[in-house]
């Protein structure tokens, strides 16, 4: 039985919140959902960056608004979400905000560990907690969490980051189970490396003069021989946010260029 719109992946009449939506993967998702009819609300720590992203979407004739929000602070999250609920029903939450960290258990400071968990884990908790009652009252909704292959693969020197993404995956499954009968779906996307401005900046800062070499190594980590593009993550996000995916909940989708199943395991 066909449950979606007559127009595939149509989000017309739906409102979506995208955290960390001012750049990279978050911006690509915001643009994609808006292009398919959603009214998107971009939340970001930097209001100016969020406003610039929203303006870019509006220039294309689509609906977007910007909001300053620190996802790790309950008061900030509650204030923004309360404002959005007063304006109408919110149908989609994309928990995309996150920060990275390089380090093993012994090289990760307590402050760094707390910082990663505060944004990557507590941020998902606070935003989802803020919207879950609203979705229950409206008899449905879609929560999409940006996870990572780091949640399930043993990546070197990614101790805190992997810990945080493992928690995001577990939260995804718990939310999907607990709110199944409220018509709320919850899924996750686990990308491998994605070519974002963050990656370019990281390589330029840490490997000056060796940018091409390091980009080649980062690309070669995926069996297909390249990194993903933000647009490719957004394509999967669109599907999972649409009615075409109405039978899908409690799932974690690898978008990894074959990393999880096709990579060669190096002997230690």
pLDDT single digits (tens) 10-45: 999 999 999 999 999 999 999 999 999 999 999 999
For 111-155, what is each residue's pLDDT tens digit?
Answer: 999 999 999 999 999 999 999 999 999 999 999 999 999 999 999
Q: Is the pLDDT of residue 205 over 60?
A: yes
Count Cβ atoms below 10 Å from residue 8 Cβ, excluding itself.
12
H or E element, residue 93: strand 92-95
pLDDT band of residue 268 (cuts 50, 70, 90) is very low
Mean per-residue pLDDT of the chain = 95
Q: State in words which class domain 15-192+229-258 has.
A: alpha beta
pLDDT for res 257: 96
Give the model confidence (pLDDT) of 85-111 as tens digits. Answer: 999 999 999 999 999 999 999 999 999
Residues 50 and 43 sit within 8 Å (Cβ to Cβ): yes
Nearest to 129 by CA among 191, 181, 174, 183: 174
CB atoms within 10 A of CB 128: 21
For residue 163, what pLDDT is reported? 98
The residues spanned by each domain of the chain are 15-192+229-258, 198-227
The SS3 call for residue 147 is: coil
Catalytic residues: 161
């Amino acid at each position: 039985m066909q449950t979606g719109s007559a127009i595939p992946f149509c989000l017309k009449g739906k409102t979506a919140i995208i955290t960390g939506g001012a750049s990279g993967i978050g911006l690509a998702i915001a643009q994609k959902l808006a292009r398919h009819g959603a009214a998107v609300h971009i939340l970001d720590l930097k209001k100016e960056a969020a406003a610039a992203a929203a303006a870019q979407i509006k220039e294309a004739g689509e609906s977007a608004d910007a909001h300053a929000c620190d996802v790790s602070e309950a008061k900030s999250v509650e204030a923004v979400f309360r404002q959005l609920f007063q304006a109408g029903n919110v149908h989609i939450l994309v928990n995309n905000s996150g920060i990275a960290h390089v380090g093993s258990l012994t090289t990760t400071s307590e402050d760094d560990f707390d910082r990663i968990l505060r944004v990557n884990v507590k941020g998902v908790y606070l935003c989802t907690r803020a919207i879950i009652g609203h979705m229950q009252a409206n008899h449905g909704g879609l929560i999409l969490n940006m996870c990572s292959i780091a949640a399930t693969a043993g990546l070197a020197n990614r101790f805190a980051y992997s810990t945080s993404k493992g928690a995001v995956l577990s939260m995804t499954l718990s939310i999907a189970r607990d709110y199944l009968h409220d018509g709320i779906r919850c899924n996750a996307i686990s990308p491998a490396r994605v070519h974002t401005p963050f990656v370019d900046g990281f390589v330029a800062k840490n490997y000056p003069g060796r940018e091409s070499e390091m980009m080649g190594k980062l690309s070669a980590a995926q069996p297909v021989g390249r990194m993903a593009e933000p647009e490719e993550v957004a394509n999967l996000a669109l599907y999972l946010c649409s009615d075409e995916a109405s039978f899908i909940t409690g799932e974690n989708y690898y978008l990894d260029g074959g990393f999880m199943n096709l990579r060669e395991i190096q002997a230690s």
